[in-house]
Structure 1
Amino acid sequence: MDTQQNTALTRALAEIPGPLPARGVIHIAIPHTDRFTVVGNHLAQHPDLSCTAVGIAVRIQSLPQGIEIGIKALAARCREGEKRVAAALRELEAFGYLQRVRDRLPSGRVITRTIFCNQPTALLRPRPTAIPRQPAATATPQTPAQAQAPAPAPSEVPTPAPAPAPALAPSPSPSPSPEPDMPEPPPVPPPPSFVTPPAAPLLVPLVPNPTAPKPPPPPLPQPVEPTPELDRAATALLSDLRRHTPEFTLSEADIRQLAPGVAAWLERAAHPDAIRRTLTTDLPHPLRRPALLLKHRLTALLPPPLPGVRDLTVPTRRRVTITPFQTCDDCDRAFRSPTPGHCRDCREDRTHRTHREHRTHRSGDTRAAAA
């Protein structure tokens, strides 16, 4: 049977402009339309960050705001252990990608906010101010009334219109020297300077939007093979909770809704007393919504299935039998054998000698019979 060809890959390679490289990686860039995160090359190709730190940074950058990114939370999402996650977070914090800021709430409580910046070097550069400058107008002599008038605000300065020259220019004097009684015109005030607004703070606390959509809660566990016996036992266990804990006086609708979760526990060989103890221990005070608390505990504390007999058996190692060394009785040569005796060469010589003696003995008997 011939090798199957990937026509989609062949067509994608044909659409790449220019000749394909003879070695190295070939990129097939397909634009993303949804569920993508923009990552800069300064992070993806950082020379001093480990690949684990880069991967943790990309994972953090792809998460929405408000998601817990502690060591235990990231270790639960990734395959790396808590030690590697903690080392990666320290690397990101050393290079400015991750920062922890202590903030005080209006109630007086001090909390720690974890801030991740996708481009920390951009925070250190000054922010450009896009304020247009007005063209400098031609300086014209002003009258004392115009000089004493207050200058308008920068936002109210109108565009200077060209004024007729005869109305503003003074008439030429026949005498080259000015009159001594005429006061000197005041100096022209410089154009108003625009004050550069202060740069934005380097770190802005990322407060999650309270109206942001929350992720849906995990569904209630269901039994793999629901049976009437499991449903009956789960319903009886939920109905009996009020005898031990009066706060868990559930309605029939709540019992019907929570019965599949208890059935999943019973299917995994959980003892009813253990289920009751897990559901009713360490309750919050006051307990406002008992059915919701039971649903959370049935979902979050679901035990794994019991392992089988084969899973609990320790694999036995194959014992390798080592044949000891022996010394040949004839030539004193060392050879491997379970029992002492002769080596292979001596055994072959003894066999040939025995055959030769046997043939000699038969030939002698034949000659004797012929005589």
Structure 2
Amino acid sequence: MTIKALSLRFPEGEVTIGKALRELEAAGYLVRRRVPLGGGRIATRTFFLDHPGVGVARASVRGGGSGAAVAAVPTYAVAGDEREVLSAPGPGAVPAAAEVSRSDSAQASSGRTRRAAPEPVAASTGPAADLLARLRLADPRLLLSERDVQRLVPAVETWLARAATSDQITRTLTAGLPSEADPIRHPASLLEYRLTTLLPPPLPAAPSSTATVMSPLRPVPLVSCDGCERAIRTHDPHALCRECHERKGRRKVEVTRRSVA
């Protein structure tokens, strides 16, 4: 069955199906064999294995199937639109071909290791994680994965520890980005660079405030003017009010004039 025929049967496209078949072939679940049909014709047979690493017999059409050997476990072979199950080898099967095919498949599969599925990442919580998760609201291109959030949380916490507000951090991370038409391929790297390069200095320590206790000012006392007994505020108990002081000054001037005359 061709890739085009599979794309007509399944919702995936030809590129996706072709990539999946190549991955199955690399993992040992799919084997392609070129089989001569006689008369100068050659067909490609595709074998799907339930157990990767088990060899697939190379069926020979010329000898009428007399020299054909099959796999030790059930194997599905697809040629065109037909699908047949190759049974286990009978007593008359040639074991040499099966052993060679099995050893070839075992050697091919031994060099391949399956990648273990990544472990799920626990969701981060706290003000720093919330700030990073909300960046995509300011710019959709700043969408971060959970692993990226966990990696950037310590840097944001450093900013918060230096008395930077959430709004200040958000403005620093979202200001001056490329135009919306340009994609940001690695938003986590961009944010990490800004958090590291633009880190503000810590605030200086507040000076030790020693409260200076100042004695309250005493109010100026009220005293009586010696000339007219009018109440005035002064610290001098023998002071005169303004009018008496002017009157006394005029008297001195008159006395001086009289003495001169």
Q: Same fold (TM over 0.5)?
A: no
Query: Which entry has the higher C-alpha Rg, 1 or 2?
Result: 2
When the two structures are superposed, what TM-score results if normalisation uses the length of structure 2? 0.30
